[in-house]
Amino acid sequence: MNLFHPHERIALFIDGPNLYSAARGLGFDIDYRKLRELFGREGRLVRAFYYTALIEEQEYSPIRPLVDWLDYNGYTMVTKPIKEFTDGTGRRRMKGNMDIELAIDMLEMAPNIDHAFLFSGDGDFRRLVEAVQRKGRRVSVVSTIRSSPPVLADELRRQADVFVELAELGPRIMRDPSVREAREQARAAEMARGDQFQSTPDNGGFRRL
């Protein structure tokens, strides 16, 4: 990858929804095992953070299996409930921004790492990147300008020490399309059988009617 200096301590800061949108815009899904293994080989991986908000009231959240898997496989999960509110027009809105959590963690980790990798294209992070650079740390941004529309804000790209194009990184970290297709078929079959099951309040599991 030619991104690392010898013996460099690195940390990953993954804006979950932003990275998901970038990868889907390029037509692939991230294999997070491959992602962590790749950066673990290339540098001294100190920590891999993943940030996302969750709708806690939902009986089933599509992202929950991923969150649980990441939590058991070397990622530091940072989550919070999505807040629902009514705007000035009376419309129901949902808010789940994780920018503050990511910024605090990167600033706190800066003394213990040499190189931070920010997986996001959000321009709001430009000042964060600048602040970490002033502490003598390198910051690389992983996102894409090849999706339509581009996910990466120009001001963030300009501020980064290195811009890593996700499309070029993709072949090394993407999920096998055949695995994705098999999982989608299994999920569709499970949903088709859904009327045969009901929730049990004692353990949150399912039992056949």
> What value does the CA radius of gyration of the chain take, rounded to a whole number of Å?
19
Distance CA 23, CA 178 (A): 17
Asked if 141 contacts 12 with a C-beta cutoff of 8 angstroms, the reply is no
What pLDDT, on a 0 to 100 scale, did the predictor assign at position 11?
98
Burial class (CB in 10 A: 0-12, 13-18, 19+), 46: middle
- Mean pLDDT across the chain: 83
Per-residue DSSP letter, 30:
B
Distance CA 140, CA 144 (A): 13
Q: Which two tokens stand for residue 15?
A: 């804006």
CB atoms within 10 A of CB 144: 23
pLDDT tens column, 133-174: 999 999 999 999 999 888 999 999 999 999 999 999 999 999
Q: Indicate whether 86 pLDDT > 80.
A: no
Per-residue DSSP letter, 52:
E
Fold observed for domain 9-175:
Rossmann fold (3.40.50)
Distance CA 114, CA 203 (A): 45
